[in-house]
Amino acid sequence: MTPNWKLSLTRAAIFVLILGVVLLPIYWMVAASFKSNAEITQDATLYPHVWTFDNYIRLFSEKEFANYLVNSLVATVVSVVLALIAGSLGAYAIARFHLKYRLERKIGLSLLTLRIVPPVVILIPVYLLMLSLKLLDTWLGLIITYTAFNITFCVWMMESFFREIPVDLEEAAMVDGDSRFTAFRRIALPLAAPGLAATAIFAVIVTFNEFLFALALTATPRAMTMPRGTATLIGRIDTDWASMSAAGVLGALPIVVFALLVQRHLVRGLTMGAVK
């Protein structure tokens, strides 16, 4: 009994420690979002002694955070949907069709290079491309860039999910008169839905939080995303920590809500095919 009690206590202590390490920065950000800048920099209090909602109000009255939020949502949703459509088609083709010398494998791998290369390496070419297309500081410029990145990720993720689905099911459907595309749409895609959800979740999180390309490709509230807009609060001499904290909370909310809603699919998607 005693060893079990000690083990439980140790487990609980480790759990609390890990939870503390993970949650403390989040708590600090939320608490700071309800403090004044003076309280943050001069007093460093553990919790807000004088509660204020001015930081949130300021983001919408003096800054352009409504625009940043809309821009982020549009760029994320449109690029992820486009990437899922194109990516799942590409992944299906790689999973089902075989080329000479197993070229389909090499195509799949070459798509991944876009993910392997550090983004900063292709930042300038992308900037110049968008400049020549007159797509700097537009939704379309961001969407094209994010879609290109997400497609590679979607193909890579979805390919393994499609491989798990027995090809016999599609062949049976085609024997019954389905075209290849209809079999894909009616049989393969629904069966790969948990994988599609998991892919979408990762793509949404990565896209919503993306900063580097948004920094290079946007300049005004017309196209700036949440992470990009939050950076505008850093000044030459002073930084508006209170507003930055409020912006952090607002920026995290959509992703947190989304993750809570779809976490069941995420786990299902990740474990799909793990047990046969």
Partner 1 sequence: MTATKKTRQGFSRRKVLKGGASLAIGSTLMTSLIRTTPARAAGGKVIIGAFADGGLAPFKNKIIPLAKAEGGFDVEFLEDEYGVTLEKWFADAQNSAGQYDIYLLDDPWVPQFGAAEVLEDLGAAGLDGSDKDWIAPMFDMGYWPPQSGPRVKGFESADPKLICVPFVGDLQTLTYRNDVYGNAPPATWDELIAKGKEGVAAGKIKYPVVFRGVSGGPIIASWSPILLSFGGDYFDDKWNPIFNNEAGKAAADFFVGTMKANSAAGVVEFDSDQEGAAILGGDAGAIIQYSGNAIKSDDPAASKIVGKLDFGVVPKQVKAISQMGIFIAGVPKAAPNKANAIEFLKWYTSGATQAKLAEAGSIPVKRSGFAVEKPGNRLIPVALQQLDAGCLPRPRTPDWSKVEELIGIQLNKALQAGSGGGAAMDVAAGQVKDYLTQAGYYK
- Residues near partner 1 (CB under 8 A) are 36-38, 41-43, 78, 127-128, 131, 134-140, 143, 176-178, 182, 215-216, 219-223, 231-241
**Nearer to partner 1 (CB atom), residue 39 or residue 159:** 39
Which 3 state secondary structure label does DSSP give 178? coil
**Nearer to partner 1 (CB atom), residue 8 or residue 239:** 239
**Nearer to partner 1 (CB atom), residue 58 or residue 159:** 58
Residues 6+ apart with CB under 8 A from 105: 94
**Nearer to partner 1 (CB atom), residue 174 or residue 270:** 174
The DSSP secondary structure of 115-153, one letter per residue, reads: HHS-HHHHHHHHHHHHHHTT-TTSHHHHHHHHHHHHHHH
CA distances (Å), 60 to each of 121, 136, 189, 231, 247, in order? 35, 24, 41, 15, 10
Beta bridge partners of 234: 239
Do the Cβ atoms of 228 and 211 come closer than 8 Å?
yes
Nearest alpha-carbon partner for 144 in 67, 105, 86: 86
Closest CB 267 distance from partner 1, rounded Å: 32
Closest CB 176 distance from partner 1, rounded Å: 7
**Nearer to partner 1 (CB atom), residue 43 or residue 257:** 43
Nearest alpha-carbon partner for 187 in 170, 168, 175: 170
Nearest alpha-carbon partner for 187 in 197, 202, 177: 177
Closest CB 31 distance from partner 1, rounded Å: 17
Residue position matching structure tokens 């505008």: 232
Please give the Cα distance from 228 to 213 (Å, whole number).
9
**Nearer to partner 1 (CB atom), residue 37 or residue 209:** 37
Closest CB 163 distance from partner 1, rounded Å: 26
- The alpha-helical segments, DSSP class H, found in 1-138 are 2-32, 37-38, 54-61, 65-96, 103-116, 119-132
**Nearer to partner 1 (CB atom), residue 95 or residue 223:** 223
Closest CB 5 distance from partner 1, rounded Å: 44
Token pair listed for 34: 């309800």
Please give the Cα distance from 233 to 176 (Å, whole number).
61
Closest CB 38 distance from partner 1, rounded Å: 5
Closest CB 220 distance from partner 1, rounded Å: 5
**Nearer to partner 1 (CB atom), residue 154 or residue 183:** 183
**In Å, how far from its chain's centre is CA 28?**
23
Closest CB 138 distance from partner 1, rounded Å: 5
